[in-house]
């Protein structure tokens, strides 16, 4: 029997193995510090967040996928032949991501991810929140989520919240507001309102691109996954530098959003992250499909 030439791109063995090795090296650089700390049972209030809040192990980042509609030549004897969501390719000895199988089983998830991403991508970015969600999480609260002292002390931190209009649009940040801070937010957020309110200027919406990439699993090329993680890591640094916490002992200078200069610095960085996020978001929308 003659197999018709495949219309799907086929990566030669040497090509995809080189991409896989480069991915592993990049992933190792991104996760090594966290893995070393975990082995010593140490915690970092900034850098470990993505591994604890999202609950995805570093191994998720280390596994390279070519993405959907790409075949890997000479891969039948590779360990990935035993991985879930892989199928034989149209070329003898090739493997490919089983996108149809993944979508058949997780279609509702893929559709929901796509719906949120498309709605967010099409909305105008907002840059007036100044990272006050972190301040709202400690407002009038004597016990805090992070074992790190407040940069201004409790009373002055509370005063900063009271002097500003809270404009948080991200439910997963809003749900950690203290009870006293909740009614101060411009909108009462719910999980159901998330697709209608999430916007691309939001730092947490940018961090969540990593979460959405993980949920789309093997449909996402490894390079896109690591781009999303790197964006989330960089956003997290700004998120905490602009927070009320004093991170000097950890080597982080504050972005003092209680001042005009700090606000301007925050917005400049926020705009850059929004631009990076929209590129990744567009790719994930394409992957999720209509």
Residue 290: predicted pLDDT:
53
Average pLDDT over residues 71-93: 94
CA dihedral (140, 141, 145, 146) positive or negative = positive
What's the CA gap between 213 and 223, in Å, rounded? 11
Average pLDDT over residues 222-231: 98
Residue 7: predicted pLDDT:
63
Give the DSSP H or E segment for 202: none
Residue 5: predicted pLDDT:
43
User: Angle 90-64-17 (CA atoms, 0-180°, nearest 5)?
Assistant: 65
Reported as a single tens digit per residue, the pLDDT across 240-263 is 999 999 999 999 999 999 999 999
Average pLDDT over residues 225-236: 98
Alpha helices (H) in 57-170, listed in sequence order: 58-62, 99-121, 132-136, 153-162
Question: Where residue 159 falls among pLDDT bands split at 50, 70, 90?
Answer: very high
Average pLDDT over residues 152-163: 97
User: Angle 194-208-64 (CA atoms, 0-180°, nearest 5)?
Assistant: 140
Coil, strand or helix: which one is 122? coil
Report the chain's mean pLDDT, rounded to a whole number.
Answer: 94
Average pLDDT over residues 233-245: 97
Residue 147: predicted pLDDT:
80
What's the CA gap between 163 and 243, in Å, rounded? 16
Reported as a single tens digit per residue, the pLDDT across 1-10 is 233 344 679 9
Question: Who contacts 148 (Cβ-Cβ below 8 Å, separation ≥6)?
Answer: 45, 245, 246, 247, 250
Say which range, 69-83, 136-150, 238-252, has the weakest mean pLDDT: 136-150
User: Angle 41-134-280 (CA atoms, 0-180°, nearest 5)?
Assistant: 80
Reported as a single tens digit per residue, the pLDDT across 54-73 is 989 999 999 999 999 899 99
Average pLDDT over residues 65-88: 95
What's the CA gap between 185 and 173, in Å, rounded? 12
Residue with tokens 């606000």: 263
What's the CA gap between 194 and 29, in Å, rounded? 33
Question: Where residue 144 falls among pLDDT bands split at 50, 70, 90?
Answer: confident
Q: What would you report as the CA-atom Rg of the chain, rounded to the nearest whole angstrom? A: 21
pLDDT over 70 percentage in the chain: 97
pLDDT at 272 over 90: yes
With beta carbons less than 8 A apart as the criterion, state whether 275 and 207 touch.
no
* Other Cβ atoms closer than 10 A to 240: 23
């Amino acid at each position: 029997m003659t197999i018709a030439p495949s219309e799907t791109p086929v990566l030669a063995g040497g090509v995809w193995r080189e991409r896989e090795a480069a991915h592993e090296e990049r992933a190792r650089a991104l996760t090594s510090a966290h893995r070393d700390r975990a082995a010593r049972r140490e915690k970092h209030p900034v850098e470990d967040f993505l591994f604890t809040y999202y609950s995805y192990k570093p191994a998720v980042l280390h596994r390279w996928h070519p993405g959907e509609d790409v075949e890997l030549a000479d891969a039948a004897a590779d360990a990935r032949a035993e991985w879930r969501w892989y199928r034989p390719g149209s070329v003898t000895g090739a493997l490919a991501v089983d996108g149809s199988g993944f979508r058949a089983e997780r279609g509702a998830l893929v559709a929901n991810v796509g719906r949120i991403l498309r709605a967010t991508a099409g909305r105008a970015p907002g840059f007036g929140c100044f990272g006050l969600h972190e301040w709202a999480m400690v407002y009038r609260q004597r016990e805090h989520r992070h074992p790190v002292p407040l940069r201004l002390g409790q009373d002055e931190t509370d005063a900063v919240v009271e002097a500003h209009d809270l404009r948080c649009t991200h439910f997963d940040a809003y749900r950690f507001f203290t009870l006293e801070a909740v009614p101060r937010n411009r909108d009462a957020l719910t999980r159901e309102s998330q697709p209608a309110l999430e916007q691309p200027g939001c730092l947490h919406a940018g961090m969540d691109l990593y979460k959405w990439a993980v949920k789309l699993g093997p449909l996402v090329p490894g390079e896109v996954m690591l781009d999303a993680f790197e964006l989330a890591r960089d956003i997290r640094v700004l998120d905490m530098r602009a927070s009320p916490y004093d991170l000097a002992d950890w080597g982080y200078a504050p972005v003092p959003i209680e001042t005009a200069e700090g606000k301007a610095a925050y917005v400049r960085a926020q705009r850059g992250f929004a631009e990076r996020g929209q590129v990744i978001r567009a790719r994930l929308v394409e992957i999720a499909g209509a």
